[in-house]
Structure 1
Amino acid sequence: MNFEYNERTQTLLKQLRAFMQEEVYPIEKEYVHAVENGENRWQTPVMMQTLKQRAKDAGLWNLFLPEEYKPYGAGLSNAEYAPLCEEMGRVLFSSEIFNCSAPDTGNMEVLAKYGNEEQKKQWLEPLLNGEIRSAFAMTEPAVASSDATNIETSITRDGDEYVINGRKWYTSGAMNENCKIMVVMGKTDFEAARHQQQSQILVPMDTKGVSIVRPMAAMGYFDEPVGHAEVLFDNVRVPVSNLLLGEGRGFEIAQGRLGPGRIHHCMRLIGCAQRALDLACERVEQRVAFGKPLSKQQSVRESIAQMHCDIEQARLLTLKAADKMDRYGNKVSRDIIAAIKIVAPKMACKVIDEAIQMHGAAGTSQDYALSAMYAYARTIRLADGPDQVHMMQLGRNLIAEKNA
């Protein structure tokens, strides 16, 4: 593995960092203020559209889509995208500027890989152009969704339509007023083999029978203007043509989606953690306690050093996972993907927590992004599979491999 980014990545990273410095950091607080004080908290501020157009014009658009989807995106490998995704992760809302935000990235990959031409025309193209947003509905309140085979939402064939009944929550993206389409996972055959019961289907937000019950908070944050919704499906009818790939292939689609999705979260979290460390280094030089700057306190220096080490370890593991995915594919790389999904969110929680501590009360306040970053990091310890599931599966695989 080459530890130096290639020339193309270095060029894009330089462009992206310049864009962040010139366009994003200066309006960060203004954007948050606009969201919090607007008439509709689920309406994306107008300045986002301006920033999106500038990113398009700069060629910093759809950077997440790999070579196999190059007509739609930049054609970068996972290893090439990693430092770019990390840079975007330094500001929680900035991924949308470059059309690289979840859950849209995962939904676009699903449509690009598994969608038919009609589905691509209707939904993928507007998503690729940044004209609409999307949501992914899998988690349910009534069952332990860490085992996705537990989901109970039914997708029943009735002539030329499927009828959907069920309740989802933490449906990311569904609160945004520009969210037009959901990818919904449910069961088409409750009697089939355990991993062949599930299917995924496209459900437009304005379909009769779809209702938003309430927005869901994560650690007290509602993640406006994107949001996470509890959604009720009450005899929702969509055409048979809205099914993705075929009945019983929901897990196949999910596995194709979650590998890149998991590593993208890890990349963003490394960006969050690095920014938290950068803010901490600035803060400890500015504040004086017990007659000297915090930066002169030995315990503070030790914490800063450990934060750096933790970030660097997670970054290198993430890059190794990205490289293996590029070389051998997501399926072969499942163990190292599980490893980074265990390591990176825990690391980010620890580093951001230390940064909050160094900021004192200010670290918990709205004046800094640290508490929102912490909420994001803590949430990702559950999203795309809880720590315990990844550890259980990784441990099982390692034991089986050594005893084969």
Structure 2
Amino acid sequence: MKNLYRQRIRSYRKLISILLMALVFLLTASPLQSQSQHVTPDGKGNLTFIPGVRMQVRYEYNDIDKNNDIFIRRMRWKGKGNIFDVASYNFEIKIDNTGRFNQAPRALLEHAWFTFPVIDELMTFRVGIEDDVFSRNALTSDSKLLFMDRSLIKNALTVLGVTDNTVGALIYGRPFAGHLTYSLGIFDNLGFNVANDDVGIARRAQGAMTVARIAGDFLDPANPQGSYDDYQSSYIGEGKHLTIGANVANSVKTELGDDVFNLFCWGVDAFFNYGPFSVEGEYNKYREHFTKTGNGPLPDIKGDGFYVQGAYLVLPKLELALRYQEIDQDNDLAHDIMGGKMFWTSVGANYYIRGHTFKVQAEYTFKNEEAGNEIDNDVLQVQLQLSF
């Protein structure tokens, strides 16, 4: 026990030393020299290419594994540009959890889309692999989250294929000078697009998934030329925002082995910031209605969850944050079927070295879970991020 304690202390000291060295170097470094924003593959400017990178190095200690884990939580290689002033493109390749305990990282295509402006500010058409239009939390880039990871209810909906990157086509726009954002799309539910999952059950979505979202900005408007998914969970003391959004999703003929069900989800969210203070909340609910079963009738599976989080910028670059979240993945059934209820409380601090481009985050999460026996699985995490 003493050796384990000493090992943990040495790991903490080593991590703190590395972060302090990085901070000293960055704070004393001279600004980068200005350079061209893009390259032109055709040499004429008709085609442009702007590279990008996102790298998140994370330290984690949890009470289950008792493991001091240092790994690359997210790695992204990105590119975007203009196509003959007719359209634009964007792609992103990811490798997550390199070096993480009990994980097998692999390269995946995260984004790959073409965007065509139709009517300036009023309508834009996009096709490819993109974020579907459900949930502010899901639509906020993980580089601009208040906490390192998204909410429990978002992750539950991702398992159902609703809140994540998927293949499809959508339209979006920002009329009224950016005070209203709408988006509507038809997608292939990639969460149900495998012949056999981890337990040998086929997951197929024979029908299309339709998703729609609308959001109003009642103080500062959103960028009229921006995208439907350019949210931030912290504006680092800038501007005044009051955004209220709502979304629905419907996926039909979703197959799980011999069972077929229709999936319906809805949710609402709100965000407010004024000066150094910000608060954000979201509630989502889903229902799986079985239309065909292999072993007799099954009741609908219903689940819901929410989170509330707030932050205060105590110094120009230092922000303190608090989040509470709940999820109930089977509120009409026995809690041992889908995992029962979970209640998590997180406290955190963010130091913005260069805004969201280069920052350090630290958080501690208290986990309370009802499924089966109580498990002590609190987690301490520290992360250094570069994103451009």
Which is strand-richer, 1 or 2?
A: 2
Name which structure has the greater RCO, CA cutoff 8 Å, separation 6+: 1
State the TM-score, normalized to the length of structure 2. Answer: 0.26
Which is helix-richer, 1 or 2?
A: 1
State the TM-score, normalized to the length of structure 1. Answer: 0.26
